């Protein structure tokens, strides 16, 4: 027998010891339908829409690898007091997400520059018909109530960019206003232009 193999049946004894130890522990089965699960803080359930923040930039729909976001809009003229001409702005008409196609990658939430899309931990939205998994902007807006607040900033971590910029501006000494030199006589005795 080689030195590495040890005693015959040693692996069998270790395996039985693990089995007996596991059998004596109580089970940790979660009673899901009766007891709501305790989800991790950044769990991905469903995508919620904050309609007021959406500027119809279409970044979410363009970056979606599944092409499951459908957006329609129209332009409206807005008159601004004191402006020379009226401005145009996009108005959101339709914002639908087909959750039967969505793979929950989160790219749409990450690329949104105006914080219009958020992850909600809501995951109980099963439907009897697959066509009912196409959710419109009103349905997506209802899930904004379930979006948790952002986590507090770690006091021992790096400060945010905004805090760093504000601290740098407050600590910088005030610069004197730039003074332009007055035109005067040139070095050759003539006058400067």
CA Rg value for the chain: 31
Neighbours of 43 (CB within 10 A): 14
Task: Extract the annotated binding site for [4Fe-4S] cluster.
Answer: 54, 57, 60, 64, 102, 105, 108, 112
- Do 143 and 46 touch, CB atoms closer than 8 A? yes
Task: Extract the annotated binding site.
Answer: 54, 57, 60, 64, 102, 105, 108, 112
Can you list the alpha helix ranges (DSSP code H) found in the chain?
Answer: 10-24, 59-63, 107-111, 137-142, 161-171
User: Cα–Cα distances in Å, from 123 out to 25, 73, 84, 146, 189?
Assistant: 31, 29, 49, 11, 85
- Do 137 and 103 touch, CB atoms closer than 8 A? no
Q: Which residue has the tokens 């702005």?
A: 89
Q: Which residue has the tokens 């419109």?
A: 136
- Do 119 and 149 touch, CB atoms closer than 8 A? no
């Amino acid at each position: 027998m080689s030195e590495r193999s040890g005693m015959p049946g040693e692996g069998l004894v270790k395996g039985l010891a693990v089995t007996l130890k596991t059998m004596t522990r109580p089970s940790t089965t979660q009673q899901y339908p009766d007891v709501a699960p305790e989800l991790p803080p950044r769990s991905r359930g469903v995508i919620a829409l904050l309609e007021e923040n959406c500027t119809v930039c279409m970044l979410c729909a363009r970056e979606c690898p599944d092409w499951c976001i459908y957006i329609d809009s129209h332009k409206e003229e807005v008159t601004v007091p004191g402006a020379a001409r009226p401005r145009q702005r996009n108005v959101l008409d339709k914002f639908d997400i087909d959750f039967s196609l969505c793979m929950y990658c989160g790219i749409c939430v990450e690329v949104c520059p105006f914080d219009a899309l958020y992850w909600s931990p809501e995951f109980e939205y099963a439907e009897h018909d697959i066509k009912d998994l196409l959710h419109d902007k009103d349905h997506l807006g209802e899930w904004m109530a379930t979006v948790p607040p952002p986590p507090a900033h770690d006091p021992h971590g790096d400060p945010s960019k905004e805090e760093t910029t504000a601290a740098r501006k407050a600590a910088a000494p005030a610069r004197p206003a730039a003074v332009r030199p007055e035109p005067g006589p040139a070095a050759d005795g003539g006058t400067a232009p």
